[in-house]
């Protein structure tokens, strides 16, 4: 192999310099090599870079074209450009010290005129990715298929009214699973951007949901047949691009999976701003998934309170992340999932260096949140408060309620003959909010 060109000549590998560092191209909280409970911080956090935003995003928005031009976007044809771009990407992954990356099939390789040609392009670029993974040690957190950009998917993929389009989507996902397996992907994600509808005037909702379930069953069967051991993840989102999306949020995702007997094969990839768009907090979605042992992975980003769409910003809100981290750690962590920066630069952030500033901010915020959450959990003040709040269910008739050993009649008798009126107890929200601030701000 010829000596790799340097695509980020002005940026060295990002060093950890500690909280007092004032250098912008340094980590202040994320020390990938720090050992915590026998694991490095890098192993705990399993950060991943999203190929689509960081290496295919050009800053386009509905009002104007791209603003970002990268020097590595050159080559004699689309496949060789894709390979050079990938060299730049792996240089970035290493310099930012991310152990993982994620991609859609069409991010990494150009779509051809036919499915066969697209598959051929993909194979060529995947061979290149495999070599880069080997030489850098960067691993694949998850792969997925882009079933939303090409016009053929304008009315959905697995919920398209045309069985021909459905079949095409199935073929595309089959191939995406093949290459995810080839690259050692630890998960495979299903995000149904156009799986939903715009109007019921032209839609058979029940049939579309049945078709989606059949699609996911076929995916499970195919994974088994090729020996793919990665975890399947559903990424809920309530809307955008489609008005009504079928995987609205984690709760409706769980109901869908259970309805169709899919619940043992899937967990959730929770994205911060998808939670917000569904009218939930990030932490809420994590708790709903964790309650059913279905917390899989995180798409780390945030929205904008004043904008109603998926702005995919880098999240530097330490308070929000600390609360999320507490819930994640309470759930026992993400297992084979990770924190994938499904986030993009703002349109005017056009320098390659901005990619570093963005990810340093996100990684530092998550690392700090991880440490704060560990401290909060070790102190146990919130846990003790909550445990105590539910103590009446630990014994006596409370315990009988939890264990199904009582009934309406027995409870009525208890209230009439013995308990009488309950004594109200403060929820102490303000006290707890102040307590949280003592961790965040000392």
Query: Which residues of this protein are in contact with Ni ion, per CB under 5 A?
Result: 271, 299, 310, 342
Residue 144 touches which member of Ni ion, ligand XLS, none, C-beta under 5-8 Å by kind: ligand XLS
Q: Which residue stretches of 316-407 are H helix?
A: 318-330, 352-379, 381-389, 396-402
Among the listed residues 44, 104, 128, 359, the single catalytic one is: 104
CB of 186 or CB of 271, closer to ligand XLS = 271
By C-alpha distance, which of 190, 289, 216 is closest to 249?
A: 289
How distant, in Å, are the alpha carbons of 23, 120, 412 from that of 428?
41, 61, 29
Residue 358 touches which member of ligand XLS, Ni ion, none, C-beta under 5-8 Å by kind: none
Of the candidates 299, 315, 345, 366, which one interacts with ligand XLS according to CB under 6 A?
299
Of the candidates 119, 144, 315, 322, which one interacts with ligand XLS according to CB under 6 A?
144
Of the candidates 237, 267, 280, 284, which one interacts with ligand XLS according to CB under 6 A?
237
How distant, in Å, are the alpha carbons of 120, 283, 429 from that of 110?
10, 37, 53
> Structure tokens of 315?
């999240």
Residue 56 touches which member of ligand XLS, Ni ion, none, C-beta under 5-8 Å by kind: none
Whether 397 and 405 have beta carbons less than 8 Å apart is answered as no
CB of 135 to ligand XLS, least distance (A): 26
Annotated catalytic residue 37: no
| Helix (H/G/I), strand (E/B), else coil: 190 | strand
For residue 241, is the peptide bond before it cis, meaning its omega torsion is within 30 degrees of 0?
A: yes
Whether 368 and 360 have beta carbons less than 8 Å apart is answered as no
Site map for ligand XLS, 80-119, x if CB under 6 A?
Answer: ------------------------x---------------
d(CA 272, CA 298): 8
Q: By beta-carbon distance, which residue lies closest to ligand XLS? A: 191
DSSP string, 225-253: HHT--PEEEE---S-SSSSEESS-SHHHH
Residue partners of 35: CB distance under 8 A and separation at least 6: none
By C-alpha distance, which of 273, 218, 284 is closest to 240?
A: 273
CB of 342 to ligand XLS, least distance (A): 5
> Structure tokens of 434?
């102040």
CB of 339 to Ni ion, least distance (A): 12
300-329 residues near ligand XLS, rule: CB under 6 A = 310
Site map for ligand XLS, 339-368, x if CB under 6 A?
Answer: ---x--------------------------
Residue 249 touches which member of Ni ion, ligand XLS, none, C-beta under 5-8 Å by kind: none
CB of 95 or CB of 274, closer to ligand XLS = 274
By C-alpha distance, which of 244, 309, 242, 305 is closest to 274?
A: 309
CB of 31 or CB of 340, closer to Ni ion = 340
d(CA 226, CA 114): 24
189-208 residues near ligand XLS, rule: CB under 6 A = 189, 191
Rounded to an integer, what is the distance from CA 89 to the centroid of its chain? 20
End-to-end CA distance of the chain: 53
Of the candidates 91, 178, 195, 235, which one interacts with ligand XLS according to CB under 6 A?
235
Of the candidates 186, 208, 271, 285, which one interacts with ligand XLS according to CB under 6 A?
271
Annotated catalytic residue 312: no
CB of 237 to Ni ion, least distance (A): 6
Among the listed residues 29, 44, 53, 107, the single catalytic one is: 107
| Contacts with ligand XLS, residue ranges (CB under 6 A) | 104, 144, 189, 191, 235, 237, 271, 299, 310, 342
> Which residues are marked as active site?
104, 107
């Amino acid at each position: 192999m010829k000596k790799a060109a340097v695509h980020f000549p002005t940026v060295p590998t990002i060093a950890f310099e500690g909280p007092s560092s004032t250098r912008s191209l340094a980590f202040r909280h994320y020390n990938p090599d720090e050992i915590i409970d026998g694991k490095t911080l890098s192993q705990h956090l399993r950060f991943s870079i999203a190929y689509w935003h960081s290496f295919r995003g050009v800053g386009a928005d509905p009002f104007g074209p791209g603003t970002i031009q990268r020097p590595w976007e050159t080559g004699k044809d689309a496949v060789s450009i894709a390979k050079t771009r990938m060299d730049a990407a792996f240089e970035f992954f290493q310099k930012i010290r991310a152990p993982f990356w994620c991609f859609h099939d069409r991010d990494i390789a150009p779509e051809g005129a036919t499915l066969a040609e697209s598959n051929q392009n993909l194979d060529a670029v995947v061979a290149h990715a495999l070599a880069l993974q080997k030489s850098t040690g960067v691993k694949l957190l998850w792969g997925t298929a882009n079933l939303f950009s090409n016009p053929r998917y304008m009315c959905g993929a697995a919920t398209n009214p045309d069985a021909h389009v459905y079949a095409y989507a199935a073929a595309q996902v089959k191939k995406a699973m093949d290459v995810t397996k080839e690259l050692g992907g630890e998960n495979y994600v299903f995000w149904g951007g156009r799986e939903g509808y715009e109007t019921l005037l032209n839609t058979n909702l029940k049939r579309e949901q049945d078709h989606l379930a059949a699609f996911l069953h076929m995916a499970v069967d195919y994974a088994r047949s090729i020996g793919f051991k990665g975890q399947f993840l559903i990424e809920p989102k309530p809307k955008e691009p489609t008005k009504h999306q079928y995987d609205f949020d984690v709760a409706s995702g769980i109901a869908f999976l259970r309805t169709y007997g899919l619940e043992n094969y899937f967990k959730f990839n929770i994205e911060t701003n998808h939670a917000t768009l569904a009218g939930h907090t990030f932490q809420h979605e994590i708790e709903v998934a964790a309650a059913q042992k279905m917390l899989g992975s995180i798409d780390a980003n945030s929205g904008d309170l004043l904008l109603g769409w998926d702005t995919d910003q880098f999240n530097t809100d330490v308070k929000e992340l600390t609360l999320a981290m507490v819930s994640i750690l309470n759930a026992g962590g993400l297992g084979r999932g990770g924190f994938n920066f499904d986030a993009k630069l703002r349109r005017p952030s056009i320098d390659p260096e901005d990619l570093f500033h963005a990810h340093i901010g996100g990684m530092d915020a998550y690392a700090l949140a991880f440490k704060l959450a560990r401290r909060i959990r070790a102190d146990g003040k919130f846990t003790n408060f909550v445990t105590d709040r539910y103590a009446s269910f630990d014994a006596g008739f409370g315990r009988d309620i939890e264990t199904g050993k009582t009934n309406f009649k027995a409870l009525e008798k208890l209230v009439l003959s013995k308990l009488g009126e309950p004594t109200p107890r403060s929820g102490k929200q303000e006290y707890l909010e102040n307590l949280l601030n003592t961790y965040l701000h000392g």
